[in-house]
Structure 1
Amino acid sequence: MKSRIIAFVLLVSFTSMACFGQETDIPAPYRPDEFPQWTLDLRRAEIVTFGSFPLSFMVTALVYDLTYLAIDSYNYNNDSNLYDRASFASHRTQDDITRLLLISGGVSLTIGLADFIINKVKQKKAEREKQELNEQRNNNRNSTGDSETEN
């Protein structure tokens, strides 16, 4: 009896999905003017910032470990156990890891901010060039229109 009820519920569920399912209309693609420019710029800066974090963390950790190794080798100048102690990341404490995360986060934020500024400068330059081109076109139209009326 239970198997019949389960089979009936499954049959009703599957057939109702086919009958009352959503239509397969494809949504319209985004228009170029659908989002303000500042949101696009902010999204780009966010992507660059979070995308550069893994690389900046690896570089920061490498520089930190090499600095630790250099200081350790300076303190123990002729010690033969130097290379036994030089295993990377074995000396890190929780404070060191927090420091590495903060430094690499700052580096990533700087990279994102630099990309944002560079992108803004390029946009302003392109707008200025476009405006100058439009002014030149208008001047050319006016000068050809004046010469035609003079003849």
Structure 2
Amino acid sequence: MKRGIALVLTFVLVTGFLPAQTTTTNDSGTEPVPYEKDEFPSWQSDIRRAEIIAFGSLPFVTFMTSLTYDIYRYIDHDQQDEYLPWPMKEKEIAEPLSEDDQKKILLISVGVAIGVALFDYGFRAIRRHIRQSRQERRNREAQPVIIIEEIDDALPAVPEEL
């Protein structure tokens, strides 16, 4: 039994080090290619940007929300030393945040981060609409260019004197 387990274990460990692909090729088809500008629709790019902004702003918003909540809690409890805001808290006498308070801070932070992302989305949508309307107005106001070409076998504009 022990011998069988040892053989299986040895087989698994030895085959783990063997390469899965024996030949190496440098085909350009396996190299990653950067995305093109128009590869994704604009709504997909906007959603991705909103996601990045929401998750990117979350740590900063959480820090500011936590600090603001500490100040609010200090004022709400008649400025008692147990509820001093974060930079001035004394570890020995500080009253810790309850689980409910921590949930409130997290929910407020998530809401503000989503609000920041929605604001950015709205701002960019309005700016894009303004750009498009300006371009459409320029296209409407543009005068068509008239190109005059000379015709070789045409009669001369001024008759020659005989």
Structure 1 residues not aligned, in runs of 5+: 1-5, 75-81
Q: Distance in 1 between matches of 2:139 and 2:83?
A: 68
Aligned to 1:125: 130
In structure 2, the CA distance between the partners of 1:17 and 1:55, relative to structure 1 (3 Å rule), is: same
Q: Percent identity?
A: 28
Name the structure 2 match of 1:83.
81
Shift in CA distance, 85/131, structure 1 to aligned 2, threshold 3 Å: closer
For 2:58 and 2:21, locate their aligned partners in 1 and report how far apart those are by CA, in whole Å.
44
Find 1:40's aligned residue among 30, 38, 45: 45
Alignment of 1:92-111 (within 5 A): 92-111=97-116
1:35 shift after superposition: 0.5
Kindly name which structure, 1 or 2, has the bigger radius of gyration based on alpha carbons: 2
Q: Which amino acid aligns with 1:23?
A: N
1:41-67 Cα offsets, whole Å, 9 max, x none, are: 111111111111111111111111011
AA matched with 2:56: G
In the alignment, the residues of structure 1 paired with residue 60 and residue 27 of structure 2 have an alpha-carbon distance, to the nearest angstrom, of 42
Tell me which protein shows more helix as a share of its residues.
Answer: 1
After TM superposition, the score normalised by the length of structure 2 is: 0.66
Q: Does 111-120 or 26-35 show the bigger shift?
A: 26-35
- Matches of 1:85 and 1:46, distance apart in 2: 35
Q: What is the TM-score of this pair, normalised by structure 1?
A: 0.70
Of structures 1 and 2, the one scoring higher in RCO (CA 8 A, sep 6+) is 1
1:29 matched to which residue of 2? 34
CA RMSD of aligned residues (A): 3.0
Aligned partners of 2:141 and 2:76: how far apart in 1?
63
Q: Kindly tell me the number of residue pairs found equivalent between the two proteins.
A: 129
**Ranges in structure 2 where 5+ consecutive residues have no aligned partner:** 1-10, 149-162
Q: Which amino acid aligns with 2:128?
A: Q
